Amino acid sequence: MNGKRIAFIDIARGFAIFSVIVVHTGFLPLQHQLLPLITPWMLPVFAVLHGWLSKDTQSFGEIIIRRFQSLIVPYAIYGGFTYVLWLGLRWYAVDSVLFASWDIALRQLFMGTSLVFNGPLWFLPAFYVASIIFEGSKQMIVKGNIASALSLAVLLAFIAFVINPTKSQVIFSYDLSLLLAAFMFVGMCMRVLRWKMVKHSVWWIIAVSFVLLSINNGTIDMFGRQFGTPWLYVFSACVGSGLVIYIAQYISEKKWWFADWWATVGKYSLVLLVTHWPIMQWLTFLLSLLGLLGALGGTPTYSSFSYYQPSVVVFTLIELPLLVLYIVIPLLVLPVVQRLNRAYLE
């Protein structure tokens, strides 16, 4: 985004990427209760915000080039770098889920599918394809008509759910690209709503409805194509995204002391998205060298590790500091990126 940044947009992105990191730690307490409230919107909100910000000031060709530079180039750079780092972990991970054939992992990188060395990377090429579908359709079909935008969103979501009936991992996740494009059109429509005319009591009703709906539909795994009831998922994703945007707007307007921090997290959400997973993997490796995994009887997972403790109290007392550790360490990337940004880009 060129020019002055929009604070509430960055705050909403901050909420989203922070939620992604928290979910990937695997140490969120009360997961069965909280994950259904987080996972429906944490990725769709990025697409909704993209649609919210969309303008008709660029040609379709310019958009393709710009999105390629902002999404595919980082995908190639971070993908190649984290692949090389993973090759080092591969020697340690002979008996765990982190071990995979080097050539299969490299092939997956070129296909944009499941990446054991950096799982969230799939989102970048899928988002790129979605943005191309969105921008092209917006200019050629929708042309600013809200009814057409909503109709196309419904059509794209329907095709996304039927185009891949086996729910397999397909090249560049083109089925999920269609779904993300649908959310972009939803964001485009949300932008024209008169948000400030909606009373706080109405937002509370919307929030309660979202909670009940999401709990009923269960935890969502977008890449795993686990949506529960598809149309309940789409509805909860749209409502959840709307709530997040409303809260972000409220925080931005009130200028609360933590607003700048959330905006900073959102500003560098792409960097956090592509770095937190390998950082967690190497943190798990370090903790194993220090003997913590052995002491807990832990087993490495794709991003952290799992362990068993029969006492719920003891399990939670262990889980909470691990949650903080696995959140804080990836966020240490922020000051490094900020310093580099000031040194070379400002």
User: For residue range 254-296, what is the model confidence (pLDDT) as tens digits?
Assistant: 999 999 999 999 999 999 999 999 999 999 989 988 999 889 8
pLDDT at 142 over 80: no
Q: What is the pLDDT of residues 216-245, one digit of tens each?
A: 999 999 999 999 999 999 999 999 999 999
User: Residue 195 pLDDT more than 90?
Assistant: no
pLDDT tens digit sequence for 64-112: 999 999 999 999 999 999 999 998 888 876 567 777 788 888 988 998 8
**H/E element holding 27?**
none
Rounded to 5 degrees, what angle do the CA atoms 317, 320, 325 make? Answer: 130
Tokens of 164: 């891949």
Mean pLDDT of all residues in 186-203: 83
pLDDT reported for residue 54 = 86
Q: Is the pTM for the entire model greater than 0.85?
A: yes
pLDDT of residue 199: 81
Structure tokens at 17: 């990427």
pLDDT at 46 over 60: yes
User: Which value, to the nearest 10 degrees, does the dihedral of the CA atoms of residues 95, 286, 276, 217 take?
Assistant: 60
pLDDT tens for each residue of 104-121: 889 889 988 878 899 999
pLDDT, averaged across the chain: 90
Helix (H), strand (E) counts: the chain = 16, 2
The single residue listed with the structure tokens 């002979």 is 94
Confidence of residue 139 (pLDDT cuts 50, 70, 90): confident
* Token pair for 84: 């090389």
| pLDDT value of residue 346 | 53
